[in-house]
Chain A
Amino acid sequence: DIQMTQSPSSLSASVGDTVTITCRASQSIGPYLNWYQHKPGQAPNLLIYSATNLQTGVPSRFSGSRSGAEFTLTINNLQPEDFATYFCQQSYSARTFGQGTKVEVK
C-alpha cells in the first residue's frame, strides 16, 4: 500500500498568515494527490485535485504544488473560515490518506 506522510499534524496561525502543509508519498504517485478541508460535522470539501488544480468554487488563496513525490498545500492570507483540518489523499492506486493537519487559531 502507498503510505502518505503529512506534516505538521497541527499548526497555529493568525488571520492573514500564509500556511503550508506537506504530504510525501512512499512511492511515485504521479500528480494524483488531492487536498481536502474538513470541519466538524460537515462533509469533507475538495480543494485541490491532481496536485495543482483548484476545484470549482474554491477561493484562489488555496494552491497546490508538487515536487516529485512531495506535495504542498499553501493557503495565502488565511481567513477565519479556513481554521479547519486539512488532509491529503493519493488516488494513484486505490486511495490512501494523510493523517491530517489541524489549523488552529494562534
Chain B
Amino acid sequence: QVQLLQSGAEVKEPGASVKVSCKAFGYTFSYYFIHWVRQAPGQALEWMGKIDPDGGSITYAQKFQGRVTMTRDTSTRTVYMELSGLRSDDTAVYYCARGELHHNDYWGLGTLVTVSS
C-alpha cells in the first residue's frame, strides 16, 4: 500500500539548517508530486511547496523562497526538504504528502523539528 516514510525528529540551534527526508512506497514514484506542509504548535497547517519527482520541477511558497530547498533522488524514491536559517518559529511538525492534481491523498506521519539554543 502507499506509504510515505519520514525521517526522525531533529533538534537544531538557531541559524542552522535541517534536512527532512520522505521515502515513498507502494506506487509509481514519478507519477505524483510530493508536497511539504508544516504545523507549528497551536497554528494552522502551512503549505511550503511541492516537487515533481519526474523532472524535478519545484514550486515554493513565497514565504519560504530563499530558505527552502526541495530535491529528489529517484533511485531511492526519496524526496528531501531542507530549511536553512532556522528560527524558533520554525519549530513545527513537517509533513510530506502525495499530491493529486487538487488534493493530497496520502501523508507521512510527520517529523518534529525543534529549534532551540
Given A95-B35, A95-B37, residue A50 in contact with residue B103 (CB < 8 A)? yes
> Which residues of chain A are within 8 angstroms of B103 by Cβ–Cβ distance?
34, 46, 49-50, 89, 91
Chain B interface size range: 20 to 34
Would you call B29 an interface residue if the criterion is a C-beta within 8 Å of the partner chain's C-beta atoms? no
Stretch at the interface among B13-21, B44-52, B65-73, B76-84: B44-52
Docked complex Cα distance between A98 and B46 (Å):
10
Q: Which residues in chain A, 50-71, are within 8 Å of chain B measured between CB atoms?
A: 50, 55
Stretch at the interface among A14-22, A37-45, A76-84: A37-45
**Residues of chain B at the chain A interface (Cβ within 8 Å):** 4, 35, 37, 44-47, 59, 61, 95, 97, 100, 102-110
Please give me the 7 A-B residue pairs with the lowest Cβ-Cβ distance, nearest first: A95-B47, A97-B45, A43-B107, A49-B103, A91-B102, A34-B103, A99-B44
Contact (Cβ within 8 A) A42 B102 = no
> Which residues of chain A are within 8 angstroms of B95 by Cβ–Cβ distance?
43-44
